[in-house]
Structure 1
Amino acid sequence: MGNKIENLMPFETAPFPMSRPRRLRQSDWMRRLISETQLSVNDLIWPLFITEGTNVKEEIPSMPGVYRYSIDLALEAVNEAANLDIPMVALFPHTDAALKTPSCDEAFNPDNLVSRATRAIKAAIPDIGVMLDVALDPYNSDGHDGIVRDGQILNDETLFALEKQALAHAEAGADVLGPSDMMDGRIAVIRQALEQNEFQNVSIMAYSAKFASAFYGPFRDAVGASGALKGDKKTYQLDPANSREAIQMVARDLAEGADMVMVKPGMPYLDICQRVNTEIGAPCFAYQVSGEYAMIAGAADNGWIDRNKAITESLLAFKRAGCSGILTYFAVEFANMQEDFL
């Protein structure tokens, strides 16, 4: 007869009282010692909204504590992030409505808002990464991520615009491009354009599993796209019911030349994050989107939850699901919290 210990199944433990799992929870040092998941400032990307003007810092009503910054004040904010060792910022423009057109020309204007902001950041704070969104919705008078004609979002025509936008971003000094449009074939087009124009070191973090979600509302307020959107984005963003399709999209984008992938939103799609981690294994990031931020911030402001604990717990969930990192509006706040414990 074999030894009882040798016959244990992988997750079987000795019966009580031989097994007392609370022994490993009884002190702070022990809990820290056996912690399975590590979360640090190195895991964070800070999304930042940029607006025109000088000395402008506008709070976004649906995202209390999040602001639009003019470029001069954005430099101060990014410098704070760099001093906290946050690895990268992701810039999003609040575009003047007068610049929004059906052809989305402002998206690939080399002197548009985010291109100017990128140049300023890379000149003043060269050691922090800058990520720029590749999508047309901030510049589209129809509010969509693609070119619209007769009510249809045109996939292939949009690809030409995205290619020009990606090259403009790369020329401005972006370190990472984040195609968030969900058009078919856009990663291959962008990667080929980067290679052919000597931007082979620019990375692509593809928004591969971007779902048609109710959690984007405050973001659309932040970039001024809410009133412009006609219809919905269900013909190109993923159905929230579909898990297998999300994995297929991740695999497709990696095959086309993406270096990293993203799941968006984050917390409602932790199962997708985990599947990407276990089934594909490529670097996977989650975007804790504006609606997720607003829920935590709003509940905390009303005294219904502990803000710091809720922030930490929510970020740990992404790491536990296998994410390499998180785009979160709480990045600077969490980094300052972490500083307090060092």
Structure 2
Amino acid sequence: MRFGSPMMVARWARKGSSLLAIGLISIVFLPVIPGLVRMGFDFFQTNHWLAIWQDTQTIPALLATLVSTLLSWVLACTLCLSIAMEKYPSNAWRSIVKRLPILLAMPHAAFAIGFAFLFAPAGWLARAIAPLMAWDSPPDWLSVQDPYGMSLGIALAIKESFFLLWVMMNLLGERHIAQQITVARSMGYQRQQIWRSIILPQILPKMMWPFAAVLAYSLSVVDMALILGPTTPPTFAVLAWQWLSDPDPQRQAQGGVAALILLLVLLILGGLLRGIAWVYQRSVMDFNGVRRSNRVSIMSLGCINSVYGLALA
């Protein structure tokens, strides 16, 4: 290949554009480097760890964070996969897809406030259910700002399921996916069996980063946690934010260590996510001629249709 040939020029142009992109990203991260160095230095100071451990808010805050994070992640993934499995490629799926930009543009804080208007002790839904359940006020676990962060997890699951559906929309837009579903349906295989054995093994590796993004956001969310999460103590992300906002340098260092703890928790949960995906891909059933019927419970259908109705509202 001669120097100056069109192929050589195109190769150098691609390398130049890649270097330019890396350089621009590096400029964005340059102001963050001193803070990361300081956080890394504070991470190895035993007095900061001791202060976090001795704080009575740390353990309940971590527990509420783990409950809300795992609940939101599991529900968001379940809602996304269930809606895609039940609605794609029908007209209902196209109706959801048309409204996804509006649902994604809704601010998280505004969604949390609307969720609170429904599920707060004086909210519309709570007042409608109270006469049927014969209670004066909803129990703590069924209201907003519950001590375990369950209401925060449910709200995050609904909001983040729209993001996962947007990613799923782009993956299912590939022509061969629809062709494979059509061929398998013509051979008598049911929808769930097709998804478990054909579709999910193809799209699951491409969904790993979106799943990780939902996990990271649920773990570190502050605005929705201030509205829907527990308050005494708050979630661990809110606690870290309060420490970082404190004028005391000791508290700020404590908040930096707490942020790194959240990063470690994210890495651990991400490793578990990767392990679950690895096990699923190696245990997926192949087609062996056995046709299996769909197994969708009434509760799962109710959840699917509720979120679907919210998307169309």
How high is the TM-score relative to the length of structure 2? 0.22
The structure richer in helix per residue is 2
Q: Is the radius of gyration larger for structure 1 or structure 2?
A: 2
The structure richer in strand per residue is 1
Higher relative contact order (CA 8 A, sep 6+): 2
How high is the TM-score relative to the length of structure 1? 0.21
